[in-house]
Structures are given as structure tokens and as C-alpha cells.
Structure 1
Amino acid sequence: MITARPGQVAAVIDEFPAAYVPIGSIEWHGPHLPLGFDGLKAEALVRRVASRIGKGVLFPTMYWRGYRTMNFPFTIHAPSFSAKAIARQLHDMGFKIILMVTGHYPPAQVRNVRGAAAWLMKKHPDTYAMGIPEQFAVQDLGYLGDHAARDETSIGMALFPKLVDMSALPNGLAYIDRCKRLGIMGHDPASEANVDFGNKIVTAFVDRVVATIEDAWTSKSQAPIWALYKEADRLARQHQNVLRAADFIKAQGMDSNRDLLAFARWFVLSRGRQEKGPRKTRSQ
């Protein structure tokens, strides 16, 4: 998109009016992942979708608009952005298929991109828009979305292994210590992350998103996209509902109710600030 001239973009839209938009952040992702991980991840996934379809316009990754970021070093905290304004302008350019994938997914940002896509589809029945974090397409495979933990580390190992430094991770840290000291929220990446899981998630994400886009376009129906959202919501209620404490604790990689309470105190009272205290292990 950056190097394309207007006539070139217009020709692509005439052939297949798809816009692929990766969204990320500049944010601490543990000592082992790059600061731009969210955008790198989103771009790599979206690029694979665009390559599989073989048509459309890949937009530059949005790195500077991630908000609700970690309260850790080397992190850019930005105000909210209007995904609705972006979606509307893409539609005005002539795009009928819009895929926004946010690799940074606090609830507010997910609502932003999802709400924009839903608003656009309701306003324009001949438009097929998706605003999703990557886990929306693969929760049934055990990838629920975390922060620099097993899930993101595994997908990083699959997408760009040279940028992942597993030797930077200490072994045996308790859940709350991983959060406070390393900014890692989820299953322990040191012991549980693996490239096979990452490859499985990447393949499934690309297969499913491509199938959803192609089904919607060929059938001229938004139903495949609404079905993806419905299934994502069902699985989220099953695995990430804090009212179902046992399921929530297991999904988050916690060991007990004590972890849940300790995390809540740190995240709310300390605003998730990095703490450099004595090392703890699971046995302590």
C-alpha cells in the first residue's frame, strides 16, 4: 500500500475489493519477545491470509495506536483510536471486504475493532468486515490469547523464531511472579511454549479466516462472519468467564484461587506496575 500509486490501488479494488489491516502496539512482552510483537504477529497472520487469497490490498501495520497497554518499560501508551472511522473510510475507497486483526487485545480494543466491523456490515449489507483478535478463530484449539505467555510465545516461535529468545526466560517462576516481574500473563512459556502448537494455531487461523472471507464473498452473505463471532463468544464464555472460577483459573495458567486474588490485587491496586522482588517458585 505504501509504495502503490492511486491507479494501482484502484485496479486491485476493481479485481477484488479486499483490505487487510494489521493492528499492533509498542509494548513490553516479557524479556524474550520483541516490543513490537503484537504488530509483528498480526501482520504475519494477515499477510498469510492475503497471500492465500492472492488478491486485495495489505495495509501497513498500525503500531502507534495500541491502548490499555502494560505498565512496564519501553511501552507506548496511546489514546484510543476510531476503528469505525478507519472502516468507514476504507469502505468509501471502494473496499467491500475488510479484515482488521488486532494483535493487541485488551477488551476495549477488541470492542473497538469488532464494533466497527459490525457497524459497517449493518449499514452496508453488501460489505463483509471482520474485526478480530487472532484467538477469535482458534479458541477451540486451546489458544485463548494471553500476554507473552505460552500462546503468544508459541505463535512467535512459529512465525519468527529468530526474534524469540527462550534463554531469556527463567524457569520455575510462580504465576504471580511471572506477572509482576516479567509482565507474562498466562501459562508458563518457559515450560509450555512450543513451535508445534504455534504452527497448529497459525495454520488453523489462516485456513479458517480465508474460508470465512471466501464463503462470505462467493455467497454474498454476511452469515459466515456472524457465525464466527457467535462461536468466539460461546467459547469465551466457556473458558474466560471469571464467574466460573475453576475454568477461568485453568485457562489463565493459574495454579489456584490464591493466584487469582493475587493477580487482581496487583492489577487493580498496583495498576499492573512492574515489581522487582525476590524470586518465587511454584513450591513457595
Structure 2
Amino acid sequence: MKTYLKDFEKMAKKGIAYVPLGTLEWHGNHLPIETDYLVAVKLCEELAKKRPGYVLPPIYLGTDKHKIVKGRKLAGMDRHLGKRLPGNLYYIDPSLLEKNISALVRNLKDQGFKKIFLIAGHAGSGHLKVLEKVEKKEKGVLLLNPWENLSVEVHHAEEYETSVFWACFPEEEKKSRKMKIPATDNCFRFYGRDVRKNASLALGKKILKEMIENCLKVIS
């Protein structure tokens, strides 16, 4: 992602900015840990084609509900499992996330941006709660959760999220399908079930189209 000053100034005059928010988080063996923010970036790029604006680099730090387990602060899925999942690198305290996003928003406003869309690639309730606080506090900010109000109910790293990732990055499907999912994998509710059997590029394109259309209804 490269933005030269001339291009930035043109986009600032349009007054619209897209902030992709995701995480670095365990998504099983079949999806990359960058899934959340990669999908958020893709969504921002697609929205910007319809309503031009500046697509910022992704923010991959986030927050979640947490608890102390054996002296360790475990957040998100980690707190349910009582252990740190490989690839979970995103957690920061809610107050720190709020301060960082708010500071970014204020910087964008100082540069002339009037409408700032926060696109949530990670939909953890604790994470969204912080983003909602920023939305309420900062004028001109609108939070969009593309995973809600869909015709299907999307869960973490299962067939629907897998399909959407493939739709965003078709070149990754072959590699994703080759990854082994251990039969003893109890890291999420599918317990080793191969979610890829019900995933497909066509399904992902359908859901992605719905996500984009839902967002456009709000921002147009």
C-alpha cells in the first residue's frame, strides 16, 4: 500500500477515509492469522471503488473480553480454552485501543477528512464495544460490522469465513485446502471437523457481495 502526497491530497479533498480493523489471530490451520485484517482491507478497497476515499493501512491490534487464568491474562478464545493459541498476537487493553483509534481519527480530521468509516474485520464483542465508544465520541465516525445482518450466521474460522477469505484471495484457496486439520484439534467448536468441505469460492463470493452491499447501503 503506497500513497504519494499528490494522491493523498486529492483523497483528503474528497473527505472520506476507510480504516480497516482486524487482528493477528488464530484461525485454525486452514486460514492465515492475518485473516481478519486482510478481509477488512479488501472490503475497504471494494467500498472505495464505489465511494472513493483513502484506504488506510490496517490496524491489527485489538481487544476482547479477558480473564486471568493461572496468573496469565487470556483474551478472546484463549480465555475459554485456558491456554494461549498460536498466532494470537493482537490483544491490547481496551483503553489503549480506544486512545489509539481516537488519535488516528483526530489526525484524519486535521487533514480534512469529514467522514471516517471504521471497518471491523474482527467482530469480538469486547472489540466492537470499544469501537462503538469511539463512534459515539467522535463526530463524523461510522462503525461498520460487515459480519452482521447477513443471510448466514458466520462463526470464527468456519466454512463461511473460510469461503469469504477465498473470495477475497482466490489464489490462497489451493494452499488453504492443503493444510491439515488435526482430528484432535479442540481449539474451537468444530473439534477437528474439516470446515472446508462445506466452503467454496462461489459461496464466499455470494457472502462477500452481500457484505459489500450492506455496507454501501449505510455509507451511500
TM-score of the two chains, using structure 1 as the length reference: 0.61
The amino acid across from 1:130 in the alignment is L
Contact 2:28 2:181 in 1 (8 A): no
Q: 1:213 to 1:115 in 2, by over 3 A?
A: same
Contact 2:46 2:212 in 1 (8 A): yes
Q: 1:213 to 1:79 in 2, by over 3 A?
A: same
Give me the whole-angstrom Cα distance separating, in 1, the residues matched to 2:187 and 2:134: 35
Give me the whole-angstrom Cα distance separating, in 1, the residues matched to 2:91 and 2:4: 28
Please name the residue that 1:28 is paired with: 26
Give me the whole-angstrom Cα distance separating, in 2, the residues matched to 1:60 and 1:184: 32
Please name the residue that 1:252 is paired with: none
Instruction: Kindly indicate whether residue 86 of structure 2 is the aligned counterpart of residue 73 of structure 1.
Output: yes
Segments of structure 1 that go 5 or more residues without pairing to the other structure are 215-284
The amino acid across from 1:119 in the alignment is K
Instruction: Kindly indicate whether residue 164 of structure 2 is the aligned counterpart of residue 155 of structure 1.
Output: yes
Give me the whole-angstrom Cα distance separating, in 1, the residues matched to 2:168 and 2:180: 19
Give me the whole-angstrom Cα distance separating, in 2, the residues matched to 1:132 and 1:34: 23
Query: By how many angstroms is 1:157 displaced?
Result: 1.7
Please name the residue that 2:177 is paired with: 166
Please name the residue that 2:81 is paired with: none
Give me the whole-angstrom Cα distance separating, in 2, the residues matched to 1:206 and 1:9: 24
38-47 or 84-93, larger mean C-alpha shift: 84-93
Instruction: Kindly indicate whether residue 214 of structure 2 is the aligned counterpart of residue 208 of structure 1.
Output: yes
Instruction: Kindly indicate whether residue 115 of structure 2 is the aligned counterpart of residue 116 of structure 1.
Output: no
Query: By how many angstroms is 1:170 displaced?
Result: 4.5
Contact 2:123 2:147 in 1 (8 A): no
Q: 1:147 to 1:43 in 2, by over 3 A?
A: same
The amino acid across from 2:3 in the alignment is T
Q: 1:77 to 1:211 in 2, by over 3 A?
A: closer
Give me the whole-angstrom Cα distance separating, in 2, the residues matched to 1:23 and 1:153: 18
Higher share in strand: 2
Deviations 1:199-253 (A, max 9, x none): 1111122122223212xxxxxxxxxxxxxxxxxxxxxxxxxxxxxxxxxxxxxxx
Segments of structure 2 that go 5 or more residues without pairing to the other structure are 65-75, 78-83
3-state SS of 1:21 partner:
strand
The amino acid across from 2:36 in the alignment is D
Query: By how many angstroms is 1:17 displaced?
Result: 0.6
The amino acid across from 1:99 in the alignment is F
After TM superposition, list the pairs within 5 Å mapping 1:273-284 onto structure 2.
none
Query: By how many angstroms is 1:47 displaced?
Result: 0.7
Seq. identity, %: 25
After TM superposition, list the pairs within 5 Å mapping 1:169-180 onto structure 2.
169-170=180-181, 180=186
Q: 1:84 to 1:158 in 2, by over 3 A?
A: same
3-state SS of 1:109 partner:
helix
3-state SS of 1:135 partner:
coil
Q: CA RMSD in A?
A: 2.6
Give me the whole-angstrom Cα distance separating, in 2, the residues matched to 1:170 and 1:27: 17
Q: Which has the higher contact order (CA 8 A, sep 6+)?
A: 2
